């Protein structure tokens, strides 16, 4: 029997994907694990892996095509097999929504003989034999493989995977019948999953909104079209959707403070002299801010929180995961430095730089840009003195960081040269009140004005 | 502490309570002149006289009912069944009148009675004399069911059962009566009903076992230790009310559970423990809960078949290795 390959859901927020490149040709022999194509999601370009054996009979969509998740994109089967039924269905559900497409395509096409449509059995049959199974009728992203089949995993393994944002589809099970058990997930985490994010609500990878500084051009030659059209990329769509949602559901207010960063600048210079001598990663000023915010967040739980109306709760996170907005060609993304309150400056510096580099090459794993509990956005390098940012949902606040400027200040009644930096906190008033936000900012300021505290 | 046989510990519990409270009496087949079929009540007739240690005719339905009537009228009977296999002929009294009386009379009558005697298989006794009754009696609201595994628990729990104002089914074992162990001789030594005992601590797998099965669990834990696994052994001691919190707490730690219960498997104590644990600790389970029980057949007579029939250490170790994914 031929097997349909559908557009998989590759990130929490993905709704459709662009097939950016086919890596195999029609007629090629496919083994499980082969990379069929690359798919551009709203966050990253990811590999589309084959889970079946056979011959790539048909590429249903071409490079550059964008299709919703669940839609047929290719067919694998035996040489010469008639796949017209499958292709007809693919046509029929072209416009249907993703879930319907999954059902249509999988129901009449069970897996090869040795696997008699396991997902149907599990869903319909009361599990009276005490076997561990769940009867979730709808596909659960965390518990299904790319083709929507149920992944066998112990409840504990599922829970740990969820807490650590591990995709079970990428874990090998060592238990009976390939069941994924605790040790398998732990091994996967060990291999290089980052530290766990605190919660599992929908994550908000996208960062702060910044006004893009497009220089308007006034030199349109008369004989050319008045504008150029460009397809909206997945990333732009996500940014548009998430930030609009943030701005209309979270009542924003803004608090600005001017921080004396003279000592912090001097400290950073000293630290970097040392770092150079010892061959360690250099620390950016932004790393000092990351650490200051992380420490301050520990003392102000409502700023390290989320307002979750669907769950009827305000969730105060016990851990501090700092999202740091990084501008990339297609838009921006917020890689996450986890447990930044517990990390030293060198580690924060090294990790931030590494994440930012991979963000620019669109090489981040979903778990590396999901799960931030607070976000910062820095436009200081562009000479922006101060600005306001849109909160990265479901965070309750975001810090917009301006440039460090040399400015005259009044000290003991005299005007002297000083170094100052303005930061603006955008707060979600559903969680953070004015005084709460002000106290948090005061803590951030204290850390930056007495930066030796960051070394403790 | 004194080193006592299980039967002596039970006798100490009854004697101490009868010395304390003149309303308590013991009735059953051959409990008086013959000192009890298993010598649990040895010497009690001499000490308390025939008004309080009473030989009954062979009529379980009659003397169980007599006990319930006496309890409703203010006395505190201990009714001994020579074995719990014989309690079946007193079924209506034990499951209908004793547990329902307080409810049906709107609280006018309580039934402070203890039904006690040996329960479960005990070697070559044949199918009709090898029944395990704990699951059966646990299913009726209003009955408390206690099944200790060591003499010290036997003493402390029997004293508590005698003082309890509800009917208590107190399950002993022929094979354990001669078992010797240290027993508290503290004055007024009681153990609360509904509290499990963590007999051995470990992080790798939880074993839950009551009565005779507890000793299998402890031996299995020794064997597992030799293989590098630390088993936690919990004796619930009381089947109903069940101390599920202690069990759940342990499973949250170990993520694995094997229940040993020598009863037949269908709707057994092991089934109930399994259900309650998956209900409360589902997200902590790394493996299916397994049971070690007798098979779903009548008990055989031949010794080799009986060996195969009863839960054993090897089978228990094997199930533990399965949930540890070690085989």
Model pLDDT for residues A60-85, shown as the tens digit of each residue: 888 888 888 888 888 888 888 888 87
Going by their DSSP bridges, the two strands B2-5 and B24-28 should be labelled as unpaired
CATH number for the domain spanning A95: value is 2.40.50.100
Pairing of strands A3-6, A72-77: antiparallel
Name every chain A residue with its beta carbon within 8 A of the beta carbon of B288: 130-132
Residues 66-105, chain B, touching A (beta carbon < 8 A): none
Higher pLDDT, A85 or B13: B13
Q: What is the mean pLDDT of residues B296-306?
A: 96
Residue B2 backbone dihedrals phi, psi, to 5 degrees: -120, 150
Whole-complex ipTM: 0.77
Instruction: Name every residue whose Cβ is closer than 8 Å to that of residue B167 and which is 6 or more positions away in sequence.
Output: B68, B71, B94, B98, B99, B111, B112, B113, B114, B115, B142, B143, B144
Comparing CA positions, the residue from A396, A384, A56 lying closest to residue A213 is A384
Q: How far, in Å, CA of B150 to CA of B237, rounded? A: 9
* CA–CA distance, B209 with B222 (Å, rounded to integer): 15
d(CA A255, CA A399): 9
Q: Which of A130, A71, A132 is nearest to A101 (CA)?
A: A71
Structure tokens at B285: 């389970």
Domain end among A83, A109, A135: A109
Question: Mind telling me the catalytic residues of B?
Answer: 60, 129
pLDDT value of position A118: 39
Q: Are B287 and B319 in contact (CB under 8 A)?
A: no
Q: How far lies A45's CA from each of A61, A329, A336, in Å?
A: 17, 14, 18
- DSSP state string for B41-107: TTTHHHHH-TTTEEEPPS-HHHHHHHHHHHHHTT-EEEEEPSSGGGGGGGHIIIIIIHHHHHHHTTT
pLDDT given at position A68: 87
Query: A156 touching B, CB under 8 A?
Result: yes
Find chain B residues with C-beta within 8 A of A174's C-beta.
325
Q: What is the mean pLDDT of chain B?
A: 97
Contacting residues of A for B285, CB less than 8 Å apart: 132, 154-156
Sign of the alpha-carbon torsion through B96, B99, B100, B101: positive
In a domain? residue A121: no
How far is Cα of residue A410 from the mean position of the Cα atoms in its chain? 44
Catalytic option among A164, A252, A321, A429: A429
Q: Are A335 and A324 in contact (CB under 8 A)?
A: yes
Q: Are residues A246 and A394 in the same domain?
A: yes
User: Is A260 domain-assigned?
Assistant: yes
Among candidates A132, A182, A183 on the partner chain, residue whose Cβ is nearest the Cβ of B288: A132
* Residue A141, domain member (yes or no): no
pLDDT band at B89 (very low <50, low <70, confident <90, very high): very high
Using alpha carbons only, give the angle B94, B100, B102 rounded to the nearest 5 degrees. 120
Average pLDDT of the residues in A400-426: 94
d(CA A376, CA A288): 12
**Nearest chain B CA: its distance from A180 CA (Å):** 9
Tell whether A447 is covered by a domain. yes
Q: At residue B76, does pLDDT exceed 50?
A: yes
The tens digit of pLDDT for each residue in B15-56 reads: 999 999 999 999 999 999 999 999 999 999 999 999 999 999
Q: Which residues of B touch A176 (CB under 8 A)?
A: 325
Cβ distance of B289 and A155 shorter than 8 Å: no
Structure confidence at residue A220 (pLDDT): 56
Mean pLDDT, residues B311-326: 96
Indicate if A245 and A394 belong to the same structural domain. Answer: yes
| Contact residues, B window 199-258, toward A, CB-based 8 Å cutoff | 255
Q: Check whether residue A105 and residue A250 sit in a common domain.
A: no
Q: Is residue A130 part of a domain?
A: no
Confidence of residue A342 (pLDDT cuts 50, 70, 90): very high
How far from the centroid of its chain's Cα atoms is residue A257's Cα? 29
Rounding to the nearest 10 degrees, give the CA dihedral for residues A229, A230, A231, A234: -150
The pTM of this model reads: 0.52
Cβ atoms of residues B299 and B130 within 8 Å:
yes
Residue A395 lies in a domain: yes
Q: Over the range B238-258, which residues count as b (16 or more CB within 10 Å of their CB) and which as e? A: bbbebbbebbbbbbbebbbbb
> Strand locations in chain B, DSSP E?
2-5, 24-28, 53-55, 76-80, 114-118, 144-146, 168-172, 180-183, 197-200, 205-209, 231-235, 238-240, 257-261, 290-293
CATH of the domain at A389: 3.30.559.10
Residue A101 confidence (pLDDT) above 70 = no
Among A64, A83, A109, residue at a domain's last position: A109
Tokens 């105060």 belong to which residue? Answer: A316
Is the pLDDT score of B308 beyond 60?
Answer: yes
Model confidence at A38, in pLDDT bands (50, 70, 90)?
A: confident
List, as one string, the DSSP characters of A74-143. EEEESTT---HHHHHHHHHGGGS-HHHHHHHHHTTSPPPTTS--HHHHHHHS--TT--------S--GGG
Sign of CA dihedral A408, A410, A412, A415: positive
pLDDT band at A389 (very low <50, low <70, confident <90, very high): very high
Domains in chain B (CATH in brackets) are 2-183 (3.40.50.970), 197-323 (3.40.50.920)
Classify A315 as helix, strand or coil: strand
- Is A134 a domain residue? no
CA torsion, ordered A119, A122, A123, A124, to nearest 10 deg: 120
Chain A nearest-CA distance from B316, in A, is 19
Helix (H, G, I), strand (E, B) or coil at A180: strand
Separation of alpha carbons A53 and A435, rounded Å? 61
- Give the minimum alpha-carbon distance from A177 to chain B in angstroms, rounded to a whole number: 12
Of A56, A54, A64, A58, which Cα lies nearest the Cα of A18? A64
* Cα B201 from Cα B229, distance rounded (Å): 11
The string of pLDDT tens digits covering residues A204-263 is: 445 554 555 555 555 655 566 788 888 888 888 888 988 999 998 999 999 999 999 999
Handedness of CA B68, B69, B73, B75 (dihedral sign): negative
How far is B214 from B234, CA to CA, in rounded Å? 8
| CA B117 – CA B154 distance, rounded (Å) | 12
Name the pLDDT band for A193 (thresholds 50, 70, 90). very low
Q: Which pLDDT band, with edges at 50, 70 and 90, does B169 fall under? A: very high
Indicate yes or no: CB of A181 within 8 angstroms of CB of B288.
Answer: no
3-class secondary structure, B195: coil
* Domain count across chain A: 2
Please check whether residues A96 and A242 belong to one and the same domain. no
Question: Is residue B30 helix, strand or coil?
Answer: coil
Q: Which two tokens stand for residue A274?
A: 């040392």
Q: Would you tell me how many other CB atoms lie within 10 Å of the CB of residue B2?
A: 12
Which among B274, B282, B325 has the least Cβ separation from residue A155?
B282
Rounded CA-CA distance B25/B23 in Å is 7
Interacting residues of A179 by C-beta distance below 8 A, sequence separation 6+ = A152, A153, A154, A173
At A151, give phi and psi (nearest 5°): -95, 135
C-alpha–C-alpha distance, residues A366 and A359, integer Å: 11
What's the confidence (pLDDT) of residue A140?
Answer: 40
Domain-ending residue, one of A109, A126, A143: A109
The gap between the terminal CA atoms of chain B, to the nearest Å, is: 43
Residue A81 belongs to a domain: yes
Give chain A positions within 8 Å (CB) of B287. 132, 154, 175, 181
- Residue A46 is part of which domain span? 1-109
Name A308's bridge partners.
Answer: A313
pLDDT number for residue A106:
41
Q: Do residue A238 and residue A105 come from a single domain?
A: no
Q: What is the pLDDT of residues B92-120, one digit of tens each?
A: 999 999 999 999 999 999 999 999 999 99
Q: Are strands A66-68 and A16-22 parallel, antiparallel or unpaired?
A: antiparallel
The SS3 of residue B287 is coil
Degrees, nearest 5: CA angle A127-A128-A133 = 30
């Amino acid at each position: 029997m031929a097997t349909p390959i559908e557009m998989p859901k590759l990130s929490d927020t993905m709704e459709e994907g662009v097939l950016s490149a086919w890596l195999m040709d029609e007629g090629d022999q496919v083994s499980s694990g082969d990379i069929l194509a690359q798919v551009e999601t709203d966050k990253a370009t990811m590999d589309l892996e084959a889970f079946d054996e056979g011959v790539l009979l048909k590429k249903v969509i071409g490079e550059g095509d964008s299709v919703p998740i669940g839609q047929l994109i290719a067919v694998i089967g035996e040489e010469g097999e008639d796949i017209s039924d499958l292709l007809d269905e693919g046509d029929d559900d072209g416009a249907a929504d993703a879930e319907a497409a999954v059902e249509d395509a999988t129901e009449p096409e069970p897996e090869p003989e040795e696997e008699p449509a396991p997902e149907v059995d599990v869903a319909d049959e009361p599990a009276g034999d005490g076997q561990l199974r769940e009867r979730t009728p709808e596909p659960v992203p965390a518990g299904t493989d790319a083709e929507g089949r149920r992944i066998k995993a112990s409840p504990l393994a599922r829970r740990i995977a969820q807490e650590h944002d591990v995709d079970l589809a990428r874990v090998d099970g060592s238990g009976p019948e390939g069941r994924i058990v605790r040790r398998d997930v732990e091994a996967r985490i060990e291999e290089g999953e980052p530290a766990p994010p605190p919660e599992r609500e929908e994550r908000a990878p996208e960062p702060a909104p910044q006004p893009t500084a497009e220089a308007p051009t006034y030199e349109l030659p008369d004989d050319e079209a008045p504008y150029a059209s460009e397809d909206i990329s997945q990333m732009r769509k996500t940014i548009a959707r998430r930030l609009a949602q943030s701005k209309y559901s979270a009542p924003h207010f803004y608090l600005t403070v001017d921080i004396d960063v003279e000592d912090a600048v001097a400290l950073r210079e000293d630290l970097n002299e040392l770092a150079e001598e010892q061959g360690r990663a250099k620390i950016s000023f932004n790393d000092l801010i990351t650490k200051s915010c992380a420490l301050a967040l520990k003392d102000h739980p409502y700023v390290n929180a989320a307002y979750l109306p669907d769950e009827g709760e305000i969730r105060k996170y016990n851990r501090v995961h700092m999202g740091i907005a990084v501008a990339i060609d297609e838009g921006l993304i917020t890689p996450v430095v986890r447990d930044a309150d517990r990390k030293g400056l060198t580690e924060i510096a090294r990790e931030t730089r590494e994440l930012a580099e991979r963000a620019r090459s669109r090489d981040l794993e979903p778990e590396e840009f999901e799960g931030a509990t607070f976000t910062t956005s820095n436009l200081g390098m562009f000479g922006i003195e101060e600005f306001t940012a849109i909160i990265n949902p479901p965070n309750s606040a975001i810090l917009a960081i301006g440039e460090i400027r040399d400015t005259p200040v009044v000290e003991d009644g005299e005007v002297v040269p000083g170094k100052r930096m303005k930061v603006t906190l955008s707060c979600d008033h559903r969680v953070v009140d004015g005084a709460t936000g002000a106290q948090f900012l005061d803590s951030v300021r204290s850390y930056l004005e007495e930066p030796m505290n960051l070394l403790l | 502490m004194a080193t006592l046989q299980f039967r002596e510990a039970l006798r100490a519990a009854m004697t101490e309570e009868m010395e304390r409270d003149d309303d308590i009496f013991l009735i059953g087949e051959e409990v008086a002149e013959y000192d009890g079929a298993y010598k649990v009540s040895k010497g009690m007739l001499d000490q308390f006289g025939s008004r309080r240690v009473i030989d009954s005719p062979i009529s379980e339905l009659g003397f169980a009912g007599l006990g319930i009537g006496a309890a409703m009228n203010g006395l505190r009977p201990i009714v001994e069944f020579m074995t719990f296999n014989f309690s079946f002929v007193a079924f209506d009294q034990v499951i209908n009148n004793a547990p329902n009386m307080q409810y049906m009379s709107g609280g006018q009558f309580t039934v402070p009675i203890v039904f006690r005697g040996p329960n479960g298989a005990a070697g070559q006794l044949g199918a009709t004399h090898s029944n395990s009754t704990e699951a059966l009696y646990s299913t009726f609201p209003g009955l408390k069911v206690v099944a200790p595994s060591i003499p010290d628990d036997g003493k402390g729990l029997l004293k508590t059962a005698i003082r309890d104002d509800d009917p208590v089914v107190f399950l002993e074992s022929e094979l354990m009566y001669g078992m010797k162990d240290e027993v508290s001789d503290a004055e007024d030594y009681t153990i609360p009903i509904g509290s499990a005992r963590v007999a051995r601590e470990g992080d790798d797998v939880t074993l839950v076992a009551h009565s005779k099965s507890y000793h299998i669990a402890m031996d299995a834990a020794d064997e597992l230790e030799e293989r590098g696994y630390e088993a936690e052994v919990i004796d619930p001691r009381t089947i109903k009310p069940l101390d599920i919190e202690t069990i759940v707490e342990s499973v949250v730690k170990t993520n694995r559970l094997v229940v040993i219960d020598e009863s037949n498997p269908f709707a057994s104590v092991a089934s109930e423990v399994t259900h309650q644990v998956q209900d409360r600790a589902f997200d902590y389970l790394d493996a299916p809960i397994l049971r070690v029980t007798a098979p779903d057949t009548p008990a055989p007579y031949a010794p080799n078949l009986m060996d195969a029939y009863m839960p054993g250490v090897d089978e228990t170790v094997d199930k533990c290795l399965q949930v540890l994914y070690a085989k």
